[in-house]
Structure 1
Amino acid sequence: MKKVVIGIVALAAVFFVVLQVFTWYNGNNIMSNQAVFKIYMDVKDEDMDEYFGVEKGTYDKDNHMIVCNLPVQPAPFKQYQQVVDFDINSIDCNEKYVKGDYVKYDETELSDDQNATLFIINKNYSRPVGMIDHQLEGKNSGIVASRQVHLDYQMAAINHIVLAKDRVYEYCNK
């Protein structure tokens, strides 16, 4: 009987250690069924109106920001919007995943159509970036314009997606 109890305790200890190693690995790496997004814009300020299909002079970089609704359907309270970065020169293709710096999305959260929505919003918009939705678009919403884009991305990677005037591409896989 003593050997059985010792065997069960040893098996439980091994299982606990394996679970801890997997939890640590999952927390510090991007798994094969997950994707991470970093969105960049490579459109000149003077071409932004044309890119969004709005009247010339509408976009003002001092008063507006670009936000991307990612092609995901996450659990409640999980971030799915991202302020677009304009500094494509800072992209590091060898960048390692750092827990807390990124949001990982697994296969169940990724949209099948891979379409993202870009918004031009007022910087003084009263709602948090996380509450932007195309259904709120209207006269007093703070949303100036929106546009759909298709994102091709890879699993198990940090996707550095660049939105250019004539195409959308993954920077590290040019």
Structure 2
Amino acid sequence: MKKIILGIVALAAVLFVVLQIFTWYNGNNIMSNQAVFKIYMDVKDEDMDEYFGVEKGTYDKENHMIVCNLPVQPAPFKQYQQVVDFNISSIDCNEKYTKGDYVKYDQTELNDDQNATLYIINKNYSPSAGPIDSQLEGKGAGTVASRQVHLEYQMGTINHIVLAKDKVYEYCNK
């Protein structure tokens, strides 16, 4: 009886150690069923109005910012929007995943259609309590324009997606 209890305790200890190693690995790496996004814009300021299909002179770099609703349906309180980065020269294709720098989305959180929505919003807009989607799309909510784009991305990696005037591409796989 003593050997059986000792065996069960040893098995539990081994399983606990394996679980801790897997948890650490998952927290510090992107698994093959997860995707990470970093969205960049490669459209000149003077072409931004045409890109969004709005009247010339609408987009103002000083007063507006571009926000991307990623193609995900995450759990509550998990970030699904990202301010678009304009500094394409800072892309590092050999970048390693660092916990806290990006949000990982697993297969169950990703939308099948892979469509993202871009918004031009006022920089001084401060949302009230409630769902962000409805606030961005509502009247007077600070939204200047929106546009849908299709994102091609890969699992198990940091996707550096570039939105150019005539195409959308993954920078590190061009």
Using structure 1 for the length normalisation, give the TM-score: 0.96
Q: Distance in 1 between matches of 2:153 and 2:87?
A: 20
Aligned to 1:35: 35
CA deviations 1:11-57 (Å, max 9, x no partner) are: 00000000000000000000000000000000000000000000000
Secondary structure at the aligned position of 2:109 is classed as: coil
CA deviations 1:59-84 (Å, max 9, x no partner) are: 00000000000000001111000000
Matches within 5 A, 1:12-161: 12-127=12-127, 132-133=132-133, 136-161=136-161
The letter for the 2-side match of 1:5 is I
Aligned to 1:2: 2
Shift in Å, 1:137 = 2.4
Tell me: CA distance 1:131–1:40, structure 2 relative to 1, closer, same or farther (3 Å).
farther
Shift in Å, 1:127 = 1.3
Q: Distance in 2 between matches of 1:101 and 1:111?
A: 22
> Does the Cα contact within 8 Å between 1:134 and 1:146 map onto a contact in 2?
no
> Does the Cα contact within 8 Å between 2:136 and 2:142 map onto a contact in 1?
no
Secondary structure at the aligned position of 2:76 is classed as: coil
Mind listing any 5+ residue stretches in structure 1 that lack a counterpart? none
Displacement over 4 Å in runs of 4+: none
Q: Distance in 2 between matches of 1:7 and 1:137?
A: 60
The letter for the 1-side match of 2:152 is D
Secondary structure at the aligned position of 1:133 is classed as: helix
How many positions carry a matched residue from both structures?
173
Secondary structure at the aligned position of 2:120 is classed as: strand
Secondary structure at the aligned position of 2:47 is classed as: helix
Q: Distance in 1 between matches of 2:158 and 2:27?
A: 14
Tell me: CA distance 1:92–1:136, structure 2 relative to 1, closer, same or farther (3 Å).
closer
Secondary structure at the aligned position of 2:116 is classed as: strand
Quote the RMSD (CA, aligned, Å).
1.4
Shift in Å, 1:138 = 4.2
Q: Distance in 2 between matches of 1:87 and 1:141?
A: 27
CA deviations 1:137-168 (Å, max 9, x no partner) are: 24411000000000000000000000000000
